[in-house]
């Protein structure tokens, strides 16, 4: 059907304006969105490129550790990739703060603090699954699950902690580029460390690794807490 | 809520208006439709929401006609002609062409071109397959072109 006819059909069948629409809409009580609905709606707000990156990064790690025969540096490869995962998460939560997007609408029922937590919960769950997968992939060496987890966890926590600190302290739109640089720096550092300082993955340094892991975990949790609290100052979250 | 209330209100109102041809009655039925729609929250969790909404609207219109079959219904369809289009001849020609269609076909035209419902949504409401709906739309298109005199519309 040609466009002109479609337009004319639409115009000629459009009824006169309503008279009591606003009154009715303001007075009607309709079922409000439930927590579960809001939680799942957050999956749609997370950009497709983030999910794509998750899949590609895992495929790359899997390919590198299984097809390419370099079992010696499996941990280094995986731990170099992980800062990019944390970068992905940071870009997502940074968007909310920088652009005050559609969650302001959702914040009518759930404030931005809760919305951010929901989104981080989704991404955190996805990351956790990916981490387990990567630990399994990296577990093909003889280091054991514990040591693999610690070696993989440290760069991830380091990049997460630094990025959280950056976005909490600086709120300009360019902050994300600083986070990107930091995450890439951690990633490159892990690759260099693997080539030049291979000995740090030996048994005698495991205490240092575990200590670093614990400290970084505490710092990340602290920063995360600070970041979530900082969202309380937003005007619509006070409602 | 899952449906955009304001947007759907206008669309359901348009649907009701072309059933009852009266602004006040159409708006009353629209509001009744929404009240009934929101009463059944269990269905809204998993059902075909738009099809459900339009089915309620249709049934409310049927109820209205049953209750008022002995009452003269004031037809204020004339309100349409005043402001809807600059080219009133075209509007009259299109409306005349549409009026020659069967009531079912008119309903499809309204749902598809005025309310801009998707093929899937209309098919769900009419409880027919998408393929059947495409066939009906082609048939409507053919009839409309036949009904519209060249000098009035395409001239």
**Can you tell me the mean pLDDT for A144-164?**
80
Q: What is the pLDDT of residue B135?
A: 93
**pLDDT range class, residue A232, cuts 50, 70, 90:** low
**Of A36 and A20, more confident:** A20
**pLDDT range class, residue B85, cuts 50, 70, 90:** very low
Is the pLDDT assigned to residue B22 strictly greater than 80?
A: yes
**Of A216 and A149, more confident:** A216
User: Measured between beta carbons, which residues in chain B are less than 8 angstroms from residue A18?
Assistant: 9-10, 13, 23, 27, 30
- Can you say whether the dihedral through the CA atoms of B39, B54, B64, B22 is positive or negative? positive
- Inspect the interface and report whether the beta carbons of B91 and A30 lie closer than 8 Å: no
**What is the average pLDDT score of chain A?**
74
- Domain extents in chain B: 1-83, 86-145
Question: If contacts are CB pairs under 8 Å, which of residues 11-30 in chain A contact chain B?
Answer: 11-16, 18-21, 24-25, 28-30
User: Which of A140, A150, A230, A7 minimizes the C-alpha distance to B85?
Assistant: A7
Report residue B2 as tokens.
């899952």
The pLDDT tens digits of the residues spanning B40-55 come to 766 565 667 888 889 9
Helix (H/G/I), strand (E/B), else coil: A156: helix
The pLDDT tens digits of the residues spanning A58-70 come to 777 677 666 665 5
* Distant-in-sequence, close-in-space partners of A215: CB < 8 Å, separation ≥ 6: none
User: Measured between beta carbons, which residues in chain A are less than 8 angstroms from residue B6?
Assistant: 21, 25
A219/A194 Cα distance (integer angstroms): 25
B38/A22 Cα distance (integer angstroms): 17
- Inspect the interface and report whether the beta carbons of A12 and B98 lie closer than 8 Å: yes
A31 contact B CB<8A: yes
In B45-129, where does DSSP find H-type helix?
49-67, 80-83, 88-99, 103-109, 119-126
Structure pTM?
Answer: 0.52
Exposure of A53 by Cβ count < 10 A (0-12 exposed, 13-18 middle, 19+ buried)? middle
Q: What is the pLDDT of residue B16?
A: 92
CATH number of B86-145: 1.10.10.10
Is the pLDDT assigned to residue B82 strictly greater than 50?
A: no
**Of A1 and A191, more confident:** A191
- Note whether B47 and A37 are within 8 A (CB): no
- Inspect the interface and report whether the beta carbons of B80 and A12 lie closer than 8 Å: yes
- Note whether B123 and B132 are within 8 A (CB): yes
The pLDDT tens digits of the residues spanning A168-184 come to 777 666 777 778 788 88
**Can you tell me the mean pLDDT for B106-134?**
90
Of A16, A28, A33, the CB nearest to B80: A16
Of A1, A12, A33, the CB nearest to B91: A12
Q: Which of B41-50, B121-130, B143-152 has the highest mean pLDDT?
A: B121-130
- Inspect the interface and report whether the beta carbons of B38 and A10 lie closer than 8 Å: no
- Inspect the interface and report whether the beta carbons of B90 and A8 lie closer than 8 Å: yes
**pLDDT-wise least confident of A122-136, B24-38, B102-116:** A122-136
User: Which of B122, B96, B100 minimizes the C-alpha distance to B110?
Assistant: B122
**Can you tell me the mean pLDDT for B4-26?**
87
Among chain A residues, CA nearest to B2:
A33
Question: If contacts are CB pairs under 8 Å, which of residues 69-128 in chain A contact chain B?
Answer: none
**pLDDT range class, residue B12, cuts 50, 70, 90:** very high
The pLDDT tens digits of the residues spanning A63-108 come to 766 666 555 666 677 777 777 777 777 777 776 666 655 555 555 5
Burial B13-29 (b: 16+ CB within 10 A, else e): bbbbbbbbbbbebbbbb
A44 contact B CB<8A: no
C-alpha distances out from residue A132 to A70, A137, A154, A224, Å: 20, 9, 15, 22
- Note whether A90 and A163 are within 8 A (CB): yes
**Can you tell me the mean pLDDT for A10-36?**
79
User: Measured between beta carbons, which residues in chain A are less than 8 angstroms from residue B84?
Assistant: 11-12, 14
Report residue B84 CA to chain centroid gap.
17
- Inspect the interface and report whether the beta carbons of B9 and A21 lie closer than 8 Å: yes
- Note whether A168 and A223 are within 8 A (CB): yes
Burial A15-45 (b: 16+ CB within 10 A, else e): bbebeebeebeeeeeeeeeeeeebbeebeeb
- Note whether A149 and A210 are within 8 A (CB): no
Fold for the domain defined by B1-83: Rna Polymerase Sigma Factor; Chain: A (1.10.1740)
A137/A131 Cα distance (integer angstroms): 10
Helix (H/G/I), strand (E/B), else coil: A19: coil
**pLDDT range class, residue B77, cuts 50, 70, 90:** low
- Note whether B15 and B57 are within 8 A (CB): yes
User: Which of B17, B105, B135 minimizes the C-alpha distance to A19?
Assistant: B17
């Amino acid at each position: 059907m040609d466009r002109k006819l479609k337009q004319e059909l639409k115009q000629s069948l459009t009824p006169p304006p309503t008279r009591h629409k606003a009154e009715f809409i303001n007075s009607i009580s309709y079922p409000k969105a439930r927590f579960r609905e809001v939680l799942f709606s957050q999956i749609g707000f997370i950009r497709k490129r983030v999910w794509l990156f998750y899949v590609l990064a895992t495929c790359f790690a899997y390919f590198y550790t299984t097809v390419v025969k370099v079992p010696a540096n499996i941990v280094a490869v995986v731990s170099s990739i992980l800062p990019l995962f944390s970068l992905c998460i940071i870009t997502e939560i940074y968007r909310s703060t920088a652009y005050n997007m559609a969650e302001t609408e959702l914040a009518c029922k759930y404030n931005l603090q809760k919305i951010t937590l929901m989104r981080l919960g989704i991404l955190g769950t996805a990351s956790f699954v990916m981490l387990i997968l990567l630990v399994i992939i990296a577990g093909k060496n003889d280091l054991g699950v514990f040591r693999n987890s610690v070696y993989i966890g440290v760069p991830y926590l380091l990049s997460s902690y630094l990025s959280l600190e950056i976005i909490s302290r600086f709120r300009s739109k360019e902050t994300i580029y600083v986070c990107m640089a930091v995450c890439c720096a951690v990633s490159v550092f892990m690759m260099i460390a693997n080539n030049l300082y291979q000995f740090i993955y030996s048994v005698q340094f495991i205490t240092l690794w575990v200590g670093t892991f614990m400290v970084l975990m505490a710092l990340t949790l602290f920063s995360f807490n600070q970041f979530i609290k900082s969202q309380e100052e937003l005007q619509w979250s006070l409602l | 809520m899952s449906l955009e209330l304001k947007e759907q209100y206008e669309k359901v109102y348009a649907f009701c208006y072309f059933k009852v041809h009266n602004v006040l009655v159409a708006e009353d039925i629209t509001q009744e439709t929404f009240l009934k729609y929101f009463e059944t929250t269990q269905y809204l969790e998993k059902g075909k929401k738009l099809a459900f909404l339009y089915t309620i609207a249709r049934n409310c219109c049927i109820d209205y006609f049953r209750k008022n079959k002995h009452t003269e219904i004031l037809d204020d369809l004339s309100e349409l002609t005043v402001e809807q289009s600059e080219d009133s001849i075209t509007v009259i020609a299109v409306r005349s062409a549409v009026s020659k269609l069967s009531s079912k076909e008119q309903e499809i035209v309204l749902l598809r071109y005025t309310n801009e419902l998707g093929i899937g949504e209309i098919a769900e409401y009419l409880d027919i397959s998408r393929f059947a709906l495409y066939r009906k739309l082609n048939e409507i298109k053919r009839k409309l072109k036949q009904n519209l005199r060249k000098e009035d519309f395409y001239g």
